[in-house]
Structure formats: C-alpha cells, structure tokens
Structure 1
Amino acid sequence: MPKRSNIVWFLAIGAALTGVTMPMGTPAIAVSAVTTHPTQKSDPLSDTAAAMRAYLQDLAAKKQFTGTALVVRRGEVLVRAAAGAADAEKHIPNRPDTVFRIASVTKQFTSMIVLKLRDRGLLDLDDQVCPYLIPAYIRTCPQAWRPITIREILTHTSGIPDIQQLPGFYAKLSQPTTTRKLIQRFVNKPLDFKPGTSWKYSNSGYILAGAIIQAVTRKPYGTVLHEEITGPLSLRHTGYSRGNPPAGYAKGNCTVGSPAAPINGSQAFSATGIYANADDIVRWDRSFGAHLVAPPATVKQAFTPQAPCPSSGCLNLPSSAYAFGWLVDRLHGHRLRYHPGLLQGYAASNMYLPDDDIAVVVLSNVEDTDTNGIARHLATMALKSASAHDR
C-alpha cells in the first residue's frame, strides 16, 4: 500500500487560498492551488511566500521541521504549511489544522484570564497569593511565601523554584494528579531568591495562578478558559483537558521517530497544559488589536514590561523584558511580542509584531525542533516583504 505524502503544503498569497490534500502515491511535496493576479513586476509578497515555502521544505527534508507553520500579515496568509506525521504509528500526517500541545504558550492565556478577573474586582495583582490558596491547596502559608504577590508569580519574580526542575517531575508526567498535589511538590522548597529581587523562569508560579483562578471563580480552569477566551473568540480547537486533548491531536516525539511518553494534562495544568492549532493562535494574536478579548487598557498592560530580563535574555532568548506571559523585544527595530513552548514531545513558538500585524506560529510534535528559530526567520522574511510591498 503506497504511503501518504509526508509533507503537505498549503500556500496562500493575499486572499487566494485553496487547500488541496494530494492523493496517495504523490511526490513527497504537494503544493496547493494558488491564484495570483499577473503584474509587470514580481510581487514581494508572492516572492516571500515562495521563499518561505522553500525554507520550510528544506528544513523538513533535513528532519528539522515536523509540525505546522502559519504566517499571516494583516489578515492575509503568506504561508500555511504542515510536515511530518501527527501519528506515525497510524500513518496520519500533520495538517495545517492539526492540534498540538502548545506547552508554555499556555502562560499568555492564563495571564489574560487573571487580568480579566482583576478587571472584575475578583483579585488584585498586588494581592498576596497565600490567602487565595488556603485551605483548598495549602494548609498554612510558608513564611517565605507570605510577601509573594500574584504579579510576581505571573512575571517569574517570586523566587519559587520551578516544578519542572525538581526531581521526579518527568517521571510523573503521564500520571493523573490534582492541583493540590502539584502545589505540595514545591510549597516547602526554599526560594531561589527573595521575592521581587530577581527573575527566574518558574512553571510553579503559573500553577499557582491556575489555582487562584479556580479559587475566585469556583470553576475548573478549563471552564474559565472557555468562558473568558476560547468561547468569545471562537477558538474551537483550543482548550484544556485534564487527560489528553481531543482525538486526532499530534502525538509527541523526543526526536523524529522516537515517541515521547504521553502527557497527562493535569500535570501540565495552567502552566503548560493548553492544546491548540495554528489558526486559533493567530486569531488569538490578532484579537488584541481589535480589543476582542479585553478592554484596551487591559490589553496594553498584558504587554507592558514587568521585569527586566537577565543579560543573556529571558530563557536565554533575545528579549529585553517579561510582561504577562509574553517576552517583549524588538525584531529589526519592530516591536515584538512572543513566547516559546517546550514540553515532553512538543515545541512551539507564537510571535506577533503588533505594529505590522504580522503573526507567526510554529507548532511541532518533535521536542528538539527549533520552533523559535524557525518563527524568527519567518518573521524576518515577512518584515522584509512588508517593507518592499509598502514602498
């Protein structure tokens, strides 16, 4: 039986997009039908789309890109691509609409929920966290935790050690758990530094944020996510499940052909537990400019720097500051908001350039994929084409 094409490309220029899945037995690269209007000279956007396709095709051939990539400029799709297998065992290919675990890209959703709850007067960013956690999640507040605020857990300035760096975290990642049990793993650990005095990435803080969301709403995190964000924005392929994402999601791999142990969503929770596809994330990115998800002042605060990054950059990536679930930086002089994601079997990157309305999303079900590097390269290409096109 002939194998399906392992790479399917969906390429669009402007508003012309017709996705065509090629039949079995076709060559390894299949390109969708594209309609363009002939011009006297080359169209920079068309040239850029072709260059993006060639770039991703080369990476896929080298097994350096497995997943989906989507680049949208001012509502126009520049490239929409998928490569590799969503489920190698069942011979299911990745498609542009395949659902992936997005790992730490989850944090921008959790932060926005907290900001919206603040807007309603259910909490304040400078409230101490312990009163929200007792007694449902902790019995008493550790002395070292008493000054820690909600703002600090959202901006990685609390000093609480990262649960993912503690012994045994990955050994338990496939097992169901509860929010209380997650918090018990780090509640009595010494702080890495005095709260508010430094910056160090900590998934633990975002687990606490999810607990606080549940405490003030008296609803499960996934329900609040739907009510506050995915429902209003019609993000139909985005959500949180305490077990596995819906059927058909991409299965994780450590490297190409080396399956990773499955992740139980309850272990990832509000720090890394959301699943989504690329189209939904682009819709999420572009909702901020239209103020569809929150009022202008709240959106502005979400991207306002809260903590300066170390000299090496936050997460050792180019960045000047951390906001609420977003790294803040500039790319070739243009304002950039982004966040990477990395968790057993998955890698992700969500980049948005607000002044140019360029969204770049790269999702992979192969953990060692450099999704952030790929996204940055695609964003650079999109910026250059935009400059040439607008001249």
Structure 2
Amino acid sequence: MLNPTFSRALVLGAFCTFHIASAVAAPTFETAKVDTVIDQAMADQRIVGTVVLVVKDGELVYQRAAGLADREQNIAMQEDAIFRYASLTKPLVSAAAMRMVEEGTITLDDTVDRWLPAFKPQMVDGTVVPITLKQLMTHTAGLRYGFLEGQDGPYKQANVSDGMNQPGLSLEENLQRIASVPLSYQPGSSWGYSMSLDVLGGVLSAASGKSLPEVVELYVTKPLKMQDTAFSITDKARLAVPYQDGKPAPVKMAANAIVPIGAGAAQFSPERIFDANSYASGGAGMAGTAHDFMKFLMEVRSAQPSIVTAETLTQMKADQTGPQANARGPGWGFGYGWAVLADSELAKTPQANGTIQWGGAYGHSWFFDPVNDVAVIALTNTAFEGMSGAFPRDIRNAVYEALAKN
C-alpha cells in the first residue's frame, strides 16, 4: 500500500488518462480504516483475495492487494492481478455503444430487429413489441436474467446462458433461446436487470461489421490504454482463481459452479474465458485489472473525456429510469451502464446524489461519487461476498469515514 503522499509521477504512470497540476497537493486519506475492513474480511474468511483502489480529487490515495490469488497454491494477490470482470463488462460495452451513437452508426431509438432481424421476443399473448436500444441499455426491455429465477424459471427452462457459463455456446443460439421466452413486461414500462447487454453486443457487432471484442477495443480499451482488459486472457498466470461463498471458508469454484443468490442461483464456468468458441458476452464476458478499470472511471470523471463527448457522458451518468427502478434498492435509478443514485436518504448511503455504481458477480464492486470526487474499485475473487455481501458496504463506509477526517 502506498503512503498518501507518494510520488505524483507514479500516479500518472498508473493511469495515463488525466492531468494533475503540480501545484496542487495530494489529498490526505486515512488508510487505516480501509485496511481494517480488508483485514477483518480476511480474518473472518469471507473473501480470499482482493485489490482495492481509491482515487480522491484525481489522486490515487489508496491501493492495496491483500490475501491470495490462488489459495491452494499459496500465491499472494498482486495489484496487477487479472479478474473475470463479469458485469464490469457492461459499462465498457455501453460506452462503446454511445460512441457508435455519436458516429451515427446506430441511434438509441433503433429497434433491435433492425440489426438482428430474427430477435423478436413476444409478450405472453403472442404480441411482438419492438425493443429499442435505449431500452436494452437501461434494462427496461422486458428481458430478464436466469440467475434471478428459481430452478423452474423460464430462462432456466430455455437453457439461456447468463454469459458466464456454457462454454462454446454461440451468441446466435443464446439469442434464439432468449427470444423464445415471453417478455416479462411491456418494453419501457418497468425495470428489470437482464441479458439486454448481451443482446446489445450482438447489435453493435451487426451494425459495425466487427466482432464485439473489436468494437470495445477500438472505442474504449485501446484509447484508454487498458492493456490488460479484453474478452480473452493472454496472461493466464495473473488470473485470480475464483471462489464462492462457503463455511467456514470460501470454496474454490468447480468447472460448473452453482452459487445461490436470493431466490435464484448463478451458474459459473470459470474456464469459459479460455474457450475461443464461447460468444463474447456484452454483459459479463470481459476480464481485466483494478488499475485498468480505474482508468475507465477516471475517463468517466473527466470534464473532457476522450472516448465520448462531455455531453454524451453527462447523458450516460443521468438517471434514465427514475428512482422507482430500485436498481440497487430504494433511491437508485439507472443510467447507461450503471445505477445512478437519485435519493441518498432513501438509499441510506453516505454517497451523494449522482453517484454511479455497479458490481460484478465474480465478487466486485465500484462507484464514482462526483460531488465528493471519489472513485473506488474493489475487486475480489469471492462470489458473492465481494459483490453483495458486507465487504463492499464496509469498504464504502470506511472510505467516507476516512474522507470525513480531512
């Protein structure tokens, strides 16, 4: 972990995406509070390993790798560890989509069947209702996720992949399975977390004439120098081994792991990332590092972004659904790629209104609070504790307690 007054040159080398005036002093940060949260999670055996970064006022004020990347081989977690991103993929694909909107290749009002003619899911009564790209991006399209259903749910019955399992499955086949299930509601009338970014990935590929990995690399990861972030892994030795919640300690994921969440269960195939025949999931298919994702968050923070215009970025960070979406619970709406905090009191969070946040099923959480100018990324190799357990909440609270001391 770095001292709060570490070299500014090191920060610039780590991010390479924003400028810091040399006359501005680095903000102080009470690192011990975040350390305590991480140490306690390790002592309680709730997570196996983690990388946590905190940026305040554009300065990296905290970075730490803790625990193990591979418990069975006793390999320590490193700051450059690669994690399966899961839903951290969604903001990157959403940014690529908005760039294509700016270029005029697609519009938010385009219907999906303009680009994917065979994709025509129906209402329960058999009515075909057009779905727009905006509805895909805001999860208001009437689609759903199988992992949120019980075992007898329609997506489970149709064998729909959530983008993290079924290695070798093609996008075309998965889209057919999704379209075979009746829509949950009239598109645009409600909100429901869903497979919509996987469908969007198919649209971006069809509209551009490129594969989804090529699209995201062209518009997002290459210009931001996110060199370790992609839909496939080249440096397998740096990839963190995934674990799932267990007692007395997390359990290493099997080849086809099933992890309960609420009334449903998510299916994970950790080896999918190495299967060249697996479709590139726009909702869950990428892998990368904490530092790479922080580069993206610094782009989101920027008043002069490089991958989209400032106007587009403002649109992405705006609540497109209203807080009734309850995207992360009461008080949270949804923008393009992430939840947007509309009512901090209702949400019972120290974050300011306008905060954007999401996570990843393999055990990740992140947020950017533009009012307090703080960005946090916490990647773990433990599902679901690292995403929706006490760990991300405790990290968040520790960060704000540390900021309150300044």
Query: Is TM-score (shorter-chain normalized) higher than 0.5?
Result: yes
Q: 1:112 aligned to 2:103? A: no
Is 1:127 the counterpart of 2:117 in the alignment? no
Q: Which runs of 5+ in 2 are unaligned?
A: 11-25, 150-154, 256-269
Q: Select which of 145, 158, 176 maps to 2:168.
A: 176
- Please report the TM-score for the alignment, with normalisation by the length of structure 1: 0.80
1:327 maps to which residue?
339
Equivalence for 1:29 = none
What is the aligned counterpart of 2:289 among 277, 282, 294?
277
Please tell me whether residue 253 in structure 1 is matched to residue 243 in structure 2.
yes
SS at match of 1:71: strand
Are 1:233 and 2:246 counterparts?
no
Opposite residue 374 of structure 1, the aligned amino acid is F
Name the counterpart of 2:370.
Answer: 354
Mapped partners of 1:157, 1:199: distance in 2 = 5
2:202 aligns to what? 211
The equivalent of 2:194 in structure 1 is: 202
CA contact (8 A) 1:251 1:365 kept: yes
Pick aligned residue for 2:272 from 256, 264, 272: 264
The C-alpha deviation readout for 1:289-319, integer Å capped at 9, x for no partner, is 14122111110011111113447x224x354
In 1, distance between residues paired with 2:381 and 2:330?
24
Contact 2:129 2:186 in 1 (8 A): no
Residue 300 in structure 1 maps to residue 318 in structure 2:
no
Contact 1:111 1:324 in 2 (8 A): yes
Match of 2:138 among 141, 149, 155: 155
Using the TM superposition, give the Cα deviation of residue 188 of structure 1 relative to its aligned residue in structure 2, in angstroms: 1.7
Q: Equivalences for 1:84-123 in 2 at 5 Å?
A: 84-123=67-106
Q: In structure 2, how many angstroms separate the alpha carbons of the residues matched to 1:237 and 1:275?
A: 8
Contact 1:239 1:276 in 2 (8 A): yes
* 1:202 to partner: Cα distance: 0.6
User: Larger Cα Rg: Structure 1 or Structure 2?
Assistant: 1
Q: Quick one: percent identity of the two aligned structures?
A: 24
1:284 offset after TM fit, Å?
A: 0.7
Which among 355, 378, 389 is matched to residue 395 of structure 2? Answer: 378
Kindly state the Cα deviation for residue 362 of structure 1 after the two structures are TM-superposed: 0.9
Q: In 2, distance between residues paired with 1:231 and 1:257?
A: 35
- Residues 192-218 of structure 1: CA deviation (Å, up to 9, x unaligned): 011111111112x11110001101111
Amino acid at match of 1:259: M
Is the CA contact 1:351–1:375 (under 8 Å) kept in the aligned structure 2?
A: no
For these two proteins, the number of residue pairs brought into alignment is 345
| Partner in structure 2 of residue 53 of structure 1 | 35
Q: Secondary structure at the match of 2:385?
A: coil
Q: Quick check: 1:113–1:225 contact (8 Å CA) kept in 2?
A: yes
Contact 2:70-2:76 at 8 Å conserved across structures: yes
Aligned twin of 1:3: none
Does the CA contact (< 8 Å) of 1:286 and 1:357 recur in 2? no
TM-score (norm 2): 0.77
Distance 1:382 1:333 in 2: 10
Which amino acid in the other structure matches residue 200 of structure 2? A
Q: Using a 3 Å threshold, how does the CA distance of structure 1 residues 281 and 140 change in structure 2: closer, same or farther? A: closer
Q: Partners of 1:140 and 1:299 in 2: how far apart?
A: 30
Offset of 1:236 from its aligned partner?
1.1
How big is the alpha-carbon RMSD for the aligned residues of Structure 1 and Structure 2?
A: 2.7
Tell me the distance in 1 between the aligned counterparts of 2:43 and 2:175. 43
Q: What is the rounded CA distance, in whole Å, between the counterparts of 1:89 and 1:221 in structure 2?
A: 35
C-alpha separation between the residues in 2 aligned to 1:193 and 1:293?
Answer: 34
